[in-house]
Amino acid sequence: MEIQLWKELLDPYEQAVSELLTKFNNLKREHQKRNLYSPIESVTGRVKSVNSILEKMQKKGISFERMEEEVEDIAGIRIITQFVEDIQTVESLIYQRTDMEVRSKKDYLTNKKKSGYRSFHLIIWYQVQTIKGPKKLQVEIQIRTMAMNFWATTEHSLQYKYKGVIPGHVEHQLTRAADAIVLLDEEMSQVRSEIMDAQIDNRIQTNLVQDILRNIENLYHRENKREIAKIQNEFYRIYRLHDIDELEKFSKQLDILAEGSRAQSVDSQLHS
């Protein structure tokens, strides 16, 4: 293969990664906007470097003709979750989609790798539209917790440092660290519902404060400034109470006030 063809070949994979990043980030945002707990903590993606593709082809004896079929992770997405339970939720979300078709999966959670590696992988078919028409390609989606990711990225760096031959004592420490990660994930699962509740409350409060401030700003342009100052002071007073129910009540009252003020302003514009 001529070197200049690599860019042409990898361009659709770049496009797939970029589109999928947007889609998974949107999934996270959608949850947040609806004050729901998001099983997705963060998403990253990359197209494998030519060097890594060549290395894999050499290691597995893959020909150039079979490359796109057999190197399944030319495009890679990594979804990080907070809890082990979220991994299955993300998997279900992917299965439900009509723009992603699951081709295969590798469950390194139930069957942890000898190295200690834990993660859940899906290989999906994903279609991109290019100027040459549609192209269906494979994307590897790795789904793992923050703790699993910490271990995997550290171990990956060591693999690189020791060129795949990690000394026995380091390997031993990595195995112990992998066991500790299993325990950490289990411990975090025990307090999962409490953490989820706290995060949802925090999100609700953030959205409420945003709504309140937007209403105050709109009223500021239409109403008496002294009245607005009073409303703002009342907001600060309620905010200091740390009571979401009170904040919600205040926000609803302000909604009604803002709606009334808006209607009055439209009315007076029509009659002027």
Chain contacts with ligand 0O2 (rule: CB under 6 A) = 48, 52, 56, 73, 106, 113, 115, 117, 121, 152, 155-156
DSSP-based three-state secondary structure for 62: coil
> Least distance in Å: CB of 34 to ligand 0O2?
33
Residue 256 carries which side chain, given as an amino acid letter?
I
> Least distance in Å: CB of 18 to ligand 0O2?
18
What string of DSSP letters covers 172-227?
Answer: HHHHHHHHHHHHHHHHHHHTHHHHHHHHHHHHHHHHHHHHHHHHHHHHHTTS-HHH
Given a contact cutoff of 8 angstroms between Cβ atoms, the answer to whether 126 and 136 are in contact is yes
> Least distance in Å: CB of 39 to ligand 0O2?
21
The pairing of strands 133-145 and 75-81 is: parallel
Q: Which is nearer to ligand 0O2, 74 or 231 (CB)?
A: 74
Q: Which is nearer to ligand 0O2, 28 or 105 (CB)?
A: 105
Six-digit token pair at 39?
């099983």
155 given a catalytic annotation = no
Q: Which listed residue (140, 187, 223, 259) is catalytic?
A: 140
Q: Which is nearer to ligand 0O2, 96 or 111 (CB)?
A: 111
DSSP-based three-state secondary structure for 4: helix
> Least distance in Å: CB of 177 to ligand 0O2?
12
DSSP-based three-state secondary structure for 38: coil
CA distances from 203 to 35, 125, 191, 198, 255 (A): 6, 34, 18, 9, 19
Q: Which is nearer to ligand 0O2, 28 or 56 (CB)?
A: 56
Contacts of 97 (CB under 8 A, 6+ apart): none
> Least distance in Å: CB of 212 to ligand 0O2?
45
Q: Which is nearer to ligand 0O2, 144 or 203 (CB)?
A: 144
Catalytically active residues are 140
